[in-house]
């Protein structure tokens, strides 16, 4: 069963830095069904945190090209 009533956009290039983490979480929680569990809510917090970390990494230039990823995978898989 879906946990959210409808898909929502939590992050966008326009609003990401203007909305606090608290407000972002509040927006997500408002869109969840009333019968969600604490585990469901914690999972949403976990996802928000991982997305935020990933976006910060991208902004800081800590990214890999597709070719670099392929090279790393080849070394790891062989």
At 8, the pLDDT band (50, 70, 90 cuts) reads low
The residue ranking higher by pLDDT, 15 or 68, is: 68
At 40, the pLDDT band (50, 70, 90 cuts) reads very high
Q: What is the pLDDT of residue 13?
A: 58
Least confident of 2-6, 19-23, 65-69, 73-77: 2-6
Q: What is the pLDDT of residue 4?
A: 64
3-state secondary structure of 59: helix
Q: What is the pLDDT of residue 11?
A: 59
The residue ranking higher by pLDDT, 15 or 41, is: 41
């Amino acid at each position: 069963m879906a946990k959210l009533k409808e898909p929502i956009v939590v992050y966008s290039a326009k609003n990401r830095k203007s909305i606090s983490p608290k407000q972002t979480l509040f927006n997500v929680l408002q869109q969840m069904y009333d019968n969600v569990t604490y585990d469901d809510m914690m999972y949403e917090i976990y996802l928000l945190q991982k997305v935020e970390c990933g976006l910060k990494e991208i902004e800081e230039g800590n990214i890999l090209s597709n070719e670099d990823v392929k090279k790393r995978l080849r070394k790891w898989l062989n």
